[in-house]
Amino acid sequence: MEALLDITILSWNIRGAHNNNARRNLKDLMRKHNPTFIAIYETHVPYLRLSTFWANTDYTPVHIIEANGHSGGIWLLKHSATNILTTITDSNHHSLTFTINRGNASSFCTCIYASPNPTQRPTLWTHLINLNHSIDAPWMIIGDFNETLLPSEQRGGVFNHSRAASFSNFMNSCNLLDLTTTGGKFTWHRNNNGIRILSKKLDRGLANVN
Q: What CATH number is given to the structural domain containing 118?
A: 3.60.10.10
Among 94-98, 134-138, 167-171, 176-180, where is mean pLDDT lowest? 176-180
CB 206 within 8 A of CB 150: no
- With a cut of 90, say whether residue 66 has pLDDT above it: yes
Quote the crossing angle between the two packed helices 161-173 and 121-132, to the nearest 10°.
Answer: 10
DSSP H/E element including 123: helix 121-132
Looking only at Cα atoms, what is the longest distance across the chain? 55
CB 117 within 8 A of CB 87: no
Distance CA 137, CA 129 (A): 15
**DSSP class per residue in 167-191:** HHHHHHHTT-EEPP--S-S--EEEE
Q: 70 versus 27: which is more confidently predicted?
A: 27
- With a cut of 50, say whether residue 60 has pLDDT above it: yes
Question: 207 falls in which pLDDT band (50, 70, 90)?
Answer: confident
Q: What's the structural domain count of the chain?
A: 1
Tell me, what's the pLDDT at 168? Answer: 95
Q: How far apart are the first and last CA of the chain?
A: 22
Q: What whole-number percentage of the chain has pLDDT above 90?
A: 66
Mean local confidence (pLDDT), 15-31: 94
Mean local confidence (pLDDT), 184-193: 58
Range of the domain at 30: 2-208
Among 5-9, 108-112, 200-204, where is mean pLDDT lowest? 200-204
CB 4 within 8 A of CB 100: yes
Tell me, what's the pLDDT at 41? Answer: 95
Q: What whole-number percentage of the chain has pLDDT above 70?
A: 84
Q: 41 versus 184: which is more confidently predicted?
A: 41
Tell me, what's the pLDDT at 190? Answer: 58
- With a cut of 80, say whether residue 191 has pLDDT above it: no
- With a cut of 70, say whether residue 30 has pLDDT above it: yes
Q: 132 versus 6: which is more confidently predicted?
A: 132
Question: 196 falls in which pLDDT band (50, 70, 90)?
Answer: very low
Tell me, what's the pLDDT at 210? Answer: 58
